[in-house]
């Protein structure tokens, strides 16, 4: 899937989480997933539950919410951190949140807190805290008079996971948020060091500076690469929408339209040859709004297109109902609304390119968001 590009660790976590939850359901071992102080730890001494309880969810609802949160939050954080730092933060957050939750149920057992739910609550809510602190909001909107950002949808999913099995789920979520907060602080902790040059087993440093050994990271990457696979970049659409300009035009314009080794003809020679051939044909009467001599150089064509674009912009009425509707559509969709090019726009380009058909001019205007200057640039690039 293209959505997992540069997010292999998150993809592997989601696959393992889904397979383990499904296997626990099929094998009917869901009662062994959660962590309970009494009697699991105190009476039966099942300390292995401390390590296994974050590996799977107990029901399909929690699994769905957890997978959605991992995809929406984990992919962006991994791309920002890098795979090695992201894997290190997941390991630290899981250990720290488990320690906090276990210590809390020991202290609050008398108040009814006795269990920790199954599932990687600590990892998910620690990543939510990382997103809250590092990723800015893309947009804001008002809902019932309240200013809300695009992150609200993620927190709504998180709220459903928090309320899935209270009060144990609330405890696990708060432990994950606290683990994420501690991870971002500069508080020094004694962390294990596998470097032989330090000659010390423990080194005091902040949690966010810890990295899993590079050799272990490379080994795990080789082991899980056949299972996780590779994610190709998202396929770019061939459809041309209003406001969409191909990237190759800018690079071609910067090079002046010349090919490798100077074998490609220049824009000046192509335009001069086209216009010289057009002078022998029937001349085209200039439009009233675009009066002036026919340009003979690319610079004159661009200048004339810019003048036409300025005149067309000045003649618009910003306060009209059509303009207001267009602004509303642009704000809601993020792009300009589709429309048909005006006769003035078509005539302006037709005077500069007499041998060009009307359909080609209309397509050029549509591809360039009805900007006359950009349409002229595009036609010059295509002819070159």
Report pLDDT for 248. Answer: 43
Q: Are residues 271 and 211 in the same domain?
A: no
Q: Are residues 299 and 173 in the same domain?
A: no
Q: Are residues 93 and 136 in the same domain?
A: yes
Bridge-based pairing state of the strands 35-36 and 202-206: unpaired
CB 35 within 8 A of CB 165: no
The pair of three-digit structure tokens given for residue 300, joined into one six-digit string? 């004159």
Residue at 147 is within a domain:
yes
Mean pLDDT computed over 135-149: 87
Residue at 129 is within a domain:
yes
Separation CA 221–CA 238 (nearest Å): 34
**Lowest mean pLDDT segment, chosen from 25-29, 122-126, 240-244:** 240-244
Report pLDDT for 3. Answer: 78
- Interacting residues of 245 by C-beta distance below 8 A, sequence separation 6+: 367, 368, 369, 374
Report pLDDT for 284. Answer: 43
Q: Are residues 281 and 368 in the same domain?
A: yes
Residue at 236 is within a domain:
no
Q: Are residues 334 and 278 in the same domain?
A: yes
Q: Are residues 110 and 164 in the same domain?
A: yes
Q: Of 228, 258, 274, which one is at a domain's C-terminal end?
A: 228
Q: Of 228, 257, 290, which one is at a domain's C-terminal end?
A: 228
Report pLDDT for 291. Answer: 45
Grade residue 20 by pLDDT with cuts at 50, 70 and 90.
very high
Q: Are residues 215 and 94 in the same domain?
A: yes
CB 157 within 8 A of CB 104: no
The number of distinct structural domains making up the chain is 2
Report pLDDT for 356. Answer: 83
Q: Are residues 58 and 184 in the same domain?
A: yes
Q: Of 228, 259, 281, which one is at a domain's C-terminal end?
A: 228
Residue at 143 is within a domain:
yes
Grade residue 71 by pLDDT with cuts at 50, 70 and 90.
very high
Q: Are residues 223 and 290 in the same domain?
A: no
Residue at 355 is within a domain:
yes
The CATH code of the domain that includes 75 is 1.20.1540.10
Residue at 233 is within a domain:
no
**Lowest mean pLDDT segment, chosen from 6-10, 109-113, 270-274, 320-324:** 320-324
Separation CA 101–CA 158 (nearest Å): 18
Residue at 163 is within a domain:
yes
Grade residue 366 by pLDDT with cuts at 50, 70 and 90.
confident
Q: Are residues 53 and 83 in the same domain?
A: yes
Whether the per-residue pLDDT at 249 is higher than 50: the answer is no
- Computed over every residue of the chain, the mean pLDDT equals 78
pLDDT > 70 in the chain, percent:
69
pLDDT digits (tens, 9 = 90+) for 158-214: 999 999 989 999 999 999 999 999 999 888 888 776 655 556 677 788 888 888 888
Separation CA 97–CA 177 (nearest Å): 8
Report pLDDT for 312. Answer: 56
The pair of three-digit structure tokens given for residue 369, joined into one six-digit string? 């968001």
Closest to 160 measured CA to CA, from 148, 149, 175, 173: 173
Report pLDDT for 319. Answer: 44
**Lowest mean pLDDT segment, chosen from 20-24, 59-63, 294-298:** 294-298
- Run of H or E residues at 60: helix 60-69
Grade residue 257 by pLDDT with cuts at 50, 70 and 90.
very low
Separation CA 325–CA 330 (nearest Å): 9
Whether the per-residue pLDDT at 295 is higher than 60: the answer is no
Report pLDDT for 169. Answer: 93
- Full domain range(s) for residue 376: 247-383
Q: Are residues 187 and 318 in the same domain?
A: no
Q: Are residues 129 and 276 in the same domain?
A: no
Whether the per-residue pLDDT at 219 is higher than 80: the answer is yes
Residue at 81 is within a domain:
yes
Report pLDDT for 195. Answer: 58
């Amino acid at each position: 899937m293209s959505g997992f590009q540069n997010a292999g660790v998150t993809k592997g976590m989601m696959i393992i989480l889904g397979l383990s939850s499904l296997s626990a359901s099929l094998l009917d071992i869901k009662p062994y997933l959660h962590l309970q102080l009494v009697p699991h730890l105190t009476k039966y001494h099942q300390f292995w539950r401390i390590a296994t309880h974050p590996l799977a969810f107990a029901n399909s609802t929690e699994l769905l919410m957890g997978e959605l949160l991992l995809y929406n939050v984990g992919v962006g954080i991994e791309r920002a951190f890098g795979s090695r730092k992201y894997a290190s933060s997941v390991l630290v957050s899981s250990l720290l949140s488990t320690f906090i939750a276990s210590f809390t149920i020991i202290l609050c057992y008398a108040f009814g807190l006795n269990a920790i739910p199954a599932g990687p609550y600590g990892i998910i809510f620690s990543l939510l805290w990382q997103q809250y602190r590092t990723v800015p909001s893309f947009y804001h909107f008002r809902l019932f008079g309240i200013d809300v950002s695009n992150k609200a949808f993620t927190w709504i999913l998180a709220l459903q996971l928090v309320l899935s099995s209270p009060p144990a789920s609330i405890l696990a979520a708060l432990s994950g948020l606290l683990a994420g907060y501690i991870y971002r602080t500069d508080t020094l902790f004694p962390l294990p060091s596998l470097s032989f040059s330090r000659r010390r087993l423990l080194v005091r440093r902040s949690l966010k500076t810890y990295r899993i050994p590079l050799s272990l990271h490379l080994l795990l990457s080789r082991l899980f690469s056949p299972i996780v696979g590779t994610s190709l970049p998202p396929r770019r659409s061939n459809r041309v929408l209003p406001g969409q300009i191909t990237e190759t035009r800018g690079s071609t314009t910067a090079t002046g339209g010349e090919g490798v080794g100077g074998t490609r003809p220049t824009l000046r020679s192509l335009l001069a040859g086209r216009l010289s051939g057009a002078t022998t044909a029937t001349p085209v009467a200039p439009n009233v709004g675009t009066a002036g001599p026919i340009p003979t150089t690319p610079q004159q064509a661009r200048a004339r297109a810019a003048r036409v674009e300025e005149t067309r912009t000045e003649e618009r009425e910003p306060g009209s109902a059509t303009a207001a509707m267009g602004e509303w559509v642009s704000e809601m969709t993020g792009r300009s609304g589709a429309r048909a090019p005006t006769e003035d726009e078509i005539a302006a380009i037709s005077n500069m390119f007499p041998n060009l058909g009307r359909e080609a001019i209309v397509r050029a205007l549509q591809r360039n968001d009805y900007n006359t200057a950009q349409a002229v640039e595009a036609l010059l690039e295509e002819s070159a």
